[in-house]
């Protein structure tokens, strides 16, 4: 069974945030490197959760602020995992909807749109 990006957002993102906080608190350089390695390994899992385009409207608002921060850092391992993950999302969207990535990007965004109750 393929997991969705929403699972990554709900399970792994909070874990990485805890590891970042622990790394900042810990004064040991060796343990700091261990925390950094664990964070990189978790982000290395990100592409595996992007093979399905399910629940993107729920996952992307949770993931994007963290991704924006990660892209601003100089960690090529995490940046590569994010790029591969988004490539897989685009491929999954193309396969699921039979539209080109160009048409998808031109479409009106649905992510973040608030639903109104009638």
Amino acid 51: pLDDT: 85
Which pLDDT belongs to residue 118? 45
- Out of 3-12, 28-37, 88-97, which region has the weakest mean confidence (pLDDT)? 88-97
- What pLDDT does residue 19 have? 93
Residue of 59, 82, 85, 84 lying closest to 71 (CA atoms): 82
Q: State the average pLDDT over residues 76-85.
A: 92
Average pLDDT, the chain: 81
Compute the distance between CA of residue 54 and CA of residue 49 in angstroms, rounded to an integer. 10
pLDDT score at 1:
42
Q: What is the pLDDT of residue 78?
A: 92
Is the model's pLDDT at 2 over the cut of 60?
A: no
Q: Which two tokens stand for residue 5?
A: 């990006």
pLDDT of residue 100: 60
What mean pLDDT comes out for the span 81-86?
92
Express each pLDDT in 36-74 by its tens digit: 999 999 999 999 998 877 778 888 888 888 888 888 888
CA trace torsion 82, 84, 88, 89 (10° rounding): 20
The domain spans of the chain are: 5-106
């Amino acid at each position: 069974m393929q997991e969705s990006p929403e699972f990554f957002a709900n399970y792994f993102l909070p874990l990485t945030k805890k590891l970042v906080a622990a790394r900042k608190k810990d004064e040991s350089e060796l343990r700091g490197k261990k925390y950094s390695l664990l964070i990189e390994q978790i982000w290395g899992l990100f592409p595996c959760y992007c093979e399905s385009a399910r629940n993107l409207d729920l996952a992307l608002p949770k993931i994007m602020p963290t991704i924006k921060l990660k892209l601003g850092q100089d960690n090529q391992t995490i940046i590569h995992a994010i790029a591969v993950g988004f490539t897989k999302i685009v491929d999954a969207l193309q396969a699921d909807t039979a539209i080109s990535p160009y048409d998808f990007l031109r479409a009106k965004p649905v992510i973040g749109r608030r639903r109104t109750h009638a």
